[in-house]
Amino acid sequence: MTKSLFDLSGKTALITGGGSGLGRLIAEVFAEYGANVAVCSRKLHNCQETADDLKNTFSIQAKAYECNVASEVDVTHTVEAVLSDFGQIDILVNNSGATWGEKAENMPLEAWQKVLNVNVTGTFLMSKAVGKHMISRSKGKIINIGSVAGLKAEPPEVLNAIGYSTSKAAVHHFTKDLARKWAGYGVNVNAIAPGFFETKMTKHVLEQKEAAIINKNPMKKLGDPDSLKGAALFLAGNGSDYITGQVIAIDGGVSL
Q: Active-site residue 33, yes or no?
A: no
Pairwise CA distance, residues 31 & 62, whole Å: 9
Strand arrangement, sheet containing 36-41:
62-66, 36-41, 12-16, 91-94, 140-145, 187-194, 247-250
Partners of 192 in beta bridges: 145, 248
Alpha helices of the chain — where are they, by DSSP H?
A: 21-32, 44-58, 72-86, 109-116, 122-137, 162-182, 203-216, 225-236
DSSP 154: P
Q: In one letter, which amino acid is 2? A: T
Which candidate, 22, 24, 37, places its Cα nearest to that of 228? 22
Q: In one letter, which amino acid is 85? A: D
Helix (H, G, I), strand (E, B) or coil at 121: helix
Catalytic residue among 33, 65, 164, 185: 164
Helix (H, G, I), strand (E, B) or coil at 157: coil
Catalytic residues: 164
